[in-house]
Chains A and B, each alone.
Chain A
Amino acid sequence: AQSVTQLGSHVSVSEGALVLLRCNYSSSVPPYLFWYVQYPNQGLQLLLKYTSAATLVKGINGFEAEFKKSETSFHLTKPSAHMSDAAEYFCAVSDHGGSNYKLTFGKGTLLTVNP
């Protein structure tokens, strides 16, 4: 069974500061990993994905994540936070046995950006 652990349910940063949201996974097969963002009262939007190509993945809105197999981690970073980054972020792993790509999500991290 796959699982995802997001360290820190709430992260607060100042505008312009580095954003680091942590994600560790467990998977019995080479994983597909994702970060999604959810703005208030909206659905989930894909930020970026790792599907066994380059280990450093660049996504939308200046976010990137690095897949580290030895650490079973897929942390999300952004060099400089913007007020518009305030949202909830979910790390997810895909069960891609056969054709079923159902996602297993972490509990989420709420990012607050202070002026």
Chain B
Amino acid sequence: GAGVSQSPSNKVTEKGKDVELRCDPISGHTALYWYRQSLGQGLEFLIYFQGNSAPDKSGLPSDRFSAERTGGSVSTLTIQRTQQEDSAVYLCASSLVGWDSYNEQFFGPGTRLTVL
């Protein structure tokens, strides 16, 4: 079956513009995660969704960042008033959720965001 897909694969924007990044998880996966990969900070957790709710937003770096998930499936990460330090690769992952065993997170290819 299809894996996690993300769009766009690359996004170049000007400082101050808003951007939306999309993630399509694997069908049936109820958990969805956003991570950010940047040169200076490595791989960082941003936000976790269980279904449509986000019980853990602790990794969002500022209030310019927000995310939503609709229908327990597609998720959108929105960055408002982008800054140059937002330049990074944004990775999405999805997994099943089980109470007795770990459920592997499957990662998408990422969206490379460049803020000029």
| A interface residue numbers (CB < 8 A to B) | 32, 36, 41-46, 49, 51, 90, 92, 94, 96, 99-108
- Given that A96-B102, A103-B45 are known contacts, is A43 also in contact with B107, CB under 8 Å in the complex? yes
CA distance A47 to B81 in the complex (A): 37
Decide: A101 near B95, CB < 8 A? Known: A45-B107, A49-B102, A49-B104: yes
Q: Are A43 and B108 in contact (CB under 8 A)?
A: yes
A94 CA to B103 CA, complexed, in Å: 11
Interface bracket on B: 20 to 34
Contact residues in B for A103 (Cβ distance below 8 Å): 33, 35, 43, 45, 105
Let me know if B102 and A32 touch, CB within 8 A. yes
For B1, the chain A residues whose CB sits under 8 A away are none
Q: Tell me the complex Cα distance, A32–B31, Å.
A: 17
B85 to chain A, nearest CB (A): 18
How far, in whole Å, are A90 and B106 apart by their CA atoms in the complex? Answer: 14
A46 to B102, CA, bound (A): 13
A-B contact pairs, 6 of them (CB 8 A): A32-B102, A43-B109, A46-B105, A49-B104, A102-B56, A103-B35
Partner of A51, one of B35, B59, B101, B108: B101
